[in-house]
Amino acid sequence: MHPMLNIAVRAARGAGSLIARAFENADKVEVEAKGSNDFVTNVDKDAEQTIIYTIQKSYPKHTIIGEECGIITGEDNDYQWIIDPIDGTTNFVKGIPHFAVSIALKVKGKLDQAVIYDPIRGELFTASRGNGAQFNNARVRVKAHKELAGTILATSFPHKQKASTDAYMGMFKDLFLKAADVRSGSCPSLDLAYVASGRVDGYFQMGTKPWNTAAGELMAIEAGGLVTDFTGGHNHSKSGNIVAASPRLTKEMLTVMRPHLSPAMKL
């Protein structure tokens, strides 16, 4: 295992242990509203600090970008850690056991290492640039579907972008009619990890943030998948609109989605 991936795994497991203990003691979880339909808990903050401490202990000069902490600029900005201590906070708050720790490392602007850890199931997804993706240390690949028929897709509803509901529901309807099923788990990192490991065949979502998707993006790519924005470009980290699947399936998904794109989605 790459040394930096090893540190990321250690950080994810440490945060995951804290999160799993807190999940069993829901009455001690303190919830705050950051914005409309956007929540943070004391556990998010404590888990993030656990991750930051573990990374900085080994790499004190690296930059860290976190959902809660913002940007901690280090002396060596060529190395940027992108972390989400609990991707799926609302699930965590509601007692739904579907959330994950997400940690990615960019080196000179390119995704290089990735960890997604599900602390409830004890499932570890990892990827290193050029060395593939793994689930619990076993190599995984995306399912090489050539068409939507018979596929299972993953998504999450745009609860922070309700003004785009009509466009999203148009995409959802047309994809649903062609696929076998579409499922919503409200945890982008796990959706992407599930694409990489073949548990679902494709994924699309509107309004994601880099800390939700950075680790999963590298996993999907290293597992043989393609990750794009809604137009087939590479603006997903800025637009928040993301599609992931095998190359052939991504192309078909984009074709189905295209008639429903607003002008803003094409930027």
| Residue of 123, 126, 58, 46 whose CA lies nearest to 86 | 46
Give the model's pLDDT for residue 159: 79
The two tokens of residue 9 are 């795994």
Between 3-23 and 42-58, two packed helices, what is the crossing angle to 10 degrees? 160
Report the pLDDT value the prediction gives residue 26, as an integer from 0 to 100.
83
* Sequence-separated (6 or more) residues with CB below 8 Å from residue 80: 62, 63, 64, 65, 105, 106
What the chain holds in terms of domains, given with CATH numbers, is: 3-140 (3.30.540.10), 152-266 (3.40.190.80)
pLDDT attached to residue 267: 62
pLDDT value at residue 65? 96
Question: Which token pair is 201?
Answer: 């065949």
Give phi and psi for 117, each to the nearest 5.
Answer: -125, 125
pLDDT of 37 reads 61
pLDDT in tens, the chain (267 residues): 899 999 999 999 999 999 999 999 888 889 887 766 667 889 999 999 999 999 999 999 999 999 888 999 999 999 999 999 999 999 999 999 999 999 999 999 999 999 999 999 999 999 999 999 999 999 999 999 989 999 999 999 987 778 888 999 999 999 999 999 999 999 999 999 999 999 999 999 999 999 999 999 999 999 999 999 999 999 999 999 999 999 999 999 999 999 999 877 776
Residue with tokens 């999907």: 220
Instruction: Give CA–CA dist 124/115, Å, rounded.
Output: 7
The Cα 37–Cα 163 span in angstroms is 14
Pairing of strands 226-228, 38-41: unpaired
pLDDT the model gives residue 185: 94
pLDDT at 40: 84
* CA–CA gap between residue 142 and residue 152 (Å, rounded): 12
| Predicted local confidence at residue 206, as pLDDT | 94
Token digits of residue 34: 């950051």
Distance, in Å, from the CA atom of 179 to the CA atom of 135, rounded to the nearest integer, reads 25
| Residue 256 structure tokens | 């189905």
Q: What secondary structure, in 3-state letters, does 177-228 show?
A: HHCCEEEECCCHHHHHHHHHHCCCCEEEECCCCHHHHHHHHHHHHHCCCEEE
